[in-house]
Amino acid sequence: MGPREIAVAGPNYIRNFAIIAHIDHGKSTLADQLLLKTGTVESRDMQAQFLDGMDLERERGITIKLNQARMRYTAADGCVYALNLIDTPGHIDFGYEVSRSLAACEGCLLIVDASQGVEAQTLANVYLALENELEIIVVLNKIDLPGAEPERVRREVEEVIGLDCSNAILASAKQAIGIDEILAAIVERIPPPADNRGKDLRALIFDSYYDPYKGVIVYFRVIDGELRVGETVKLMRSRKEYQVDELGVLSPKPVKVEALYAGEVGYLAASIKAVADARVGDTITLKRAPAAEALGGYAEVQPMVFCGLFPTEADRFPDLREALGKLQLNDAALVYEPEVSSAMGFGFRCGFLGLLHMEIVQERLEREYSLDLIITAPTVVYRCTSTDGGELTIDNPCELPDHHTDLREPYVRLEMITPKDFVGALMELAQQRRGEFVDMAFLTEARTTLVYNLPLAEVVTDFFDELKSRSKGYASMEYSVTGYRANDLVRLDIKINNEVAEPLASIVHRDAAYRVGRGLVKKLKELIPRQQFRIPIQAAIGSRVIASEAISALRKDVLAKCYGGDVSRKKKLLKKQAKGKKRMKTMGSVEVPQEAFMAVLNIGSPEADGE
């Protein structure tokens, strides 16, 4: 029986599942094994980790984008099943996409590294799976490792998550141990999709990407009804209508089909111009027979972190605009608008889901579009009330008006999991970052979970790096935004050569302002190269200067060597200099290097200042 026959035979022969895991616990390796075992991919065709399609992903070793694969599997009952694996991104920034792809499934494999145990991200993912009422199959992976302790980890999963682990599967994705058992469990334990074939079409979009030839390729799960090539579909949120040019399933290469039925997962192409027109979470229905209600769970993702992007060479502004436009075709979560600053010239203020999302976009701009960028420090979105009573959102610190009231900042609930030896160090870290203790619980005798409420602004600095370094790499963390809170916050301005350097402004807690201000001017003094003249650097709150330093003038200047007006030599020298100082911007007639724009990030906590 081929996949077509399976679909036509009804949802009883379909299983839709995802794999959830903490980073590095073996999700991609296991997915590869399932593809191999079911003959979906031949081993000679197996590019290491088939599902991690993007180069950037492979290099970073993390899963960013979703994908799917249909496998054909003959079970012990002699029947052929279509197993649809829906891959999920592995990072907090993409939590909403994870939740939508889980909503497209009836079950999931929960992979836990048997040499490590439950990590913060495992928990976050399990909560999402439970919210979506998924059947969870626990897989204890990496049992081949000498340090594996499957029994301990089994107890941990039972105690911490409350899942019955009596039928947990012991596996090694690397050595292909336990793969048959996993496939059998998928068929036996994960329920088939509900048989909703007779209803009006409703399909859930759980991913989409832009293809330059076909337009946006939309990945979806048919919940109700059926969809055929040539039909005109309507997206219930965006209200846009498109004629379906192509329908198919991924196996994992695209295979065209004429129709997809309730319970199936597949893709469509319909000359859609940008992924923003077919957002994750939207519901597809038919124009001629629309469903009464859209599927639940739709949300517009809000960018959480903003930064400025400026080309180092002013004449590349149009290239940056074009590149951002192209990236946005494929990334509905990326927002940007032009920003003009007297100091920086023309650039863009860009919004991202989180720091990883930001780094990915920056890296792609630089790598795929050969742009050299000056990137300003990321900031969160503040809210305040202006003097005329209006509500303002501030995604750029320099735009905070001098007169305002009720300045608020986003807060997160942060959950850390750590071996107990590092509890003290991590509590200290959270407290230094204005954390408010919520809860501490022993997961097992060896490991502890710590929960804090913390300003998001403190997390988007070097918090994660600090957590890793203070726990020798053993702790993990996860957070979700809970809301806004008023705090005593002030705008800290930096003046270079007596001019306000807008891109260096930050919003900090009043108690930290002196320390951050002092740290920042000191750091800038180190980072900004000496120039022909003395450069005062000051930190100020309003008109009050709270810290100042000065960079003394260069005694010998390169041009002095050719004093006398040898123009070509002078040009050559200047060119040579220009090469070495690529990532610079001139502010207050001073050349400021890229690192200076990020300086504020490392002054987050008292220890960085030696206090």
Ligand X SMILES: Nc1nc2c(ncn2[C@@H]2O[C@H](COP(=O)(O)OP(=O)(O)OP(=O)(O)O)[C@@H](O)[C@H]2O)c(=O)[nH]1
User: Shortest Cβ distance from residue 59 to ligand X (Å)?
Assistant: 12
79 binds ligand X (CB under 6 A): no
User: Could you give phi then psi for residue 553, rounded to 5 degrees?
Assistant: -70, 150
23 binds ligand X (CB under 6 A): yes
Q: Are 546 and 513 in contact (CB under 8 A)?
A: yes
User: Shortest Cβ distance from residue 281 to ligand X (Å)?
Assistant: 22
* Helical spans, DSSP H, in 291-436: 317-329, 355-368, 423-432
176 binds ligand X (CB under 6 A): no
33 binds ligand X (CB under 6 A): no
Q: Looking at 61-69, 180-188, 352-360, 468-476, which segment touches ligand X (CB under 6 A)?
A: 61-69
What CA–CA distances, in Å, run from 381 to 396, 409, 411, 589? 8, 7, 11, 30
- Burial (CB < 10 A; 0-12, 13-18, 19+), residue 198, is exposed
Instruction: Give 360-374 as a DSSP string.
Output: HHHHHHHHHS---EE
User: Could you give phi then psi for residue 15, rounded to 5 degrees?
Assistant: -130, 130
Q: Looking at 59-67, 264-272, 452-460, 555-563, which segment touches ligand X (CB under 6 A)?
A: 59-67
User: Could you give phi then psi for residue 230, rounded to 5 degrees?
Assistant: 95, -20
User: Known binder of ligand: residue 214?
Assistant: no
Pick between residue 49 and residue 482 the one whose CB is nearest to ligand X: 49
Q: Are 66 and 89 in contact (CB under 8 A)?
A: yes
User: Known binder of ligand: residue 168?
Assistant: no
Distance in angstroms (rounded) separating the CA atoms of residues 374 and 598: 10
Q: Which residue, chain included where needed, has tokens 């497209």?
A: 104
Pick between residue 63 and residue 196 the one whose CB is nearest to ligand X: 63
Pick between residue 54 and residue 392 the one whose CB is nearest to ligand X: 54
Pick between residue 357 and residue 523 the one whose CB is nearest to ligand X: 357
Contact with ligand X (CB under 6 A) among 13, 15, 16, 27 = 27
Pick between residue 111 and residue 457 the one whose CB is nearest to ligand X: 111
Distance in angstroms (rounded) separating the CA atoms of residues 585 and 344: 7
User: Known binder of ligand: residue 55?
Assistant: no
User: Shortest Cβ distance from residue 142 to ligand X (Å)?
Assistant: 4
Q: Report which DSSP code applies to 332.
A: T
Pick between residue 90 and residue 225 the one whose CB is nearest to ligand X: 90
User: Known binder of ligand: residue 88?
Assistant: yes
497 binds ligand X (CB under 6 A): no
Non-local (6+) Cβ contacts of 590 within 8 A are 496, 497, 528, 531, 535
User: Shortest Cβ distance from residue 16 to ligand X (Å)?
Assistant: 20
Angle at the Cα of 291 (from 192 to 266), degrees rounded to 5? Answer: 45
Q: Report which DSSP code applies to 602.
A: G
62 binds ligand X (CB under 6 A): yes
Distance in angstroms (rounded) separating the CA atoms of residues 257 and 266: 9
Q: Are 443 and 434 in contact (CB under 8 A)?
A: no
User: Shortest Cβ distance from residue 272 to ligand X (Å)?
Assistant: 28
User: Known binder of ligand: residue 575?
Assistant: no
User: Shortest Cβ distance from residue 175 to ligand X (Å)?
Assistant: 6
User: Known binder of ligand: residue 26?
Assistant: yes
User: Shortest Cβ distance from residue 138 to ligand X (Å)?
Assistant: 15
Residues 83-122 contacting ligand X, CB under 6 A: 90
User: Known binder of ligand: residue 28?
Assistant: yes
448 binds ligand X (CB under 6 A): no
Q: Are strands 246-250 and 254-257 parallel, antiparallel or unpaired?
A: antiparallel
59 binds ligand X (CB under 6 A): no
Contact with ligand X (CB under 6 A) among 28, 67, 125, 251 = 28
Residues 303-362 contacting ligand X, CB under 6 A: none
Pick between residue 25 and residue 202 the one whose CB is nearest to ligand X: 25
User: Could you give phi then psi for residue 519, rounded to 5 degrees?
Assistant: -60, -40
Pick between residue 145 and residue 573 the one whose CB is nearest to ligand X: 145
Contact string (CB under 6 A) for ligand X, positions 156-175, x = contact: ----------------xxx-
User: Known binder of ligand: residue 89?
Assistant: yes
Distance in angstroms (rounded) separating the CA atoms of residues 67 and 347: 33
Per-residue exposure over 70-102, b if at least 16 CB sit within 10 Å of its own CB, e if not: bbbbebeeeebbbbbbbbbbbbbbbbbbbbbbb
Contact with ligand X (CB under 6 A) among 24, 149, 319, 595 = 24
What CA–CA distances, in Å, run from 557 to 424, 497, 553, 573? 51, 19, 10, 11
Pick between residue 52 and residue 395 the one whose CB is nearest to ligand X: 52
Contact with ligand X (CB under 6 A) among 3, 11, 26, 281 = 26
Residues touching ligand X, count (CB under 6 A): 19
Q: Looking at 22-30, 215-223, 288-296, 341-349, which segment touches ligand X (CB under 6 A)?
A: 22-30
One-letter amino acid for residue 338 of the chain: P
Contact with ligand X (CB under 6 A) among 29, 116, 132, 376 = 29
* Helical spans, DSSP H, in 117-266: 120-131, 150-161, 179-189
523 binds ligand X (CB under 6 A): no
Q: Are 368 and 306 in contact (CB under 8 A)?
A: no
25 binds ligand X (CB under 6 A): yes
Residues 126-145 contacting ligand X, CB under 6 A: 141-142, 144-145
Quick check: bond before 252 cis, omega within 30? yes
User: Shortest Cβ distance from residue 65 to ligand X (Å)?
Assistant: 11
User: Known binder of ligand: residue 146?
Assistant: no
User: Shortest Cβ distance from residue 52 to ligand X (Å)?
Assistant: 6
Binding-site annotation: residue ranges: 21-28, 87-91, 141-144
Q: Which residues are near ligand X by CB under 6 A?
A: 21, 23-29, 61-63, 90, 141-142, 144-145, 172-174
Binding-site annotation: residue ranges for GTP: 21-28, 87-91, 141-144
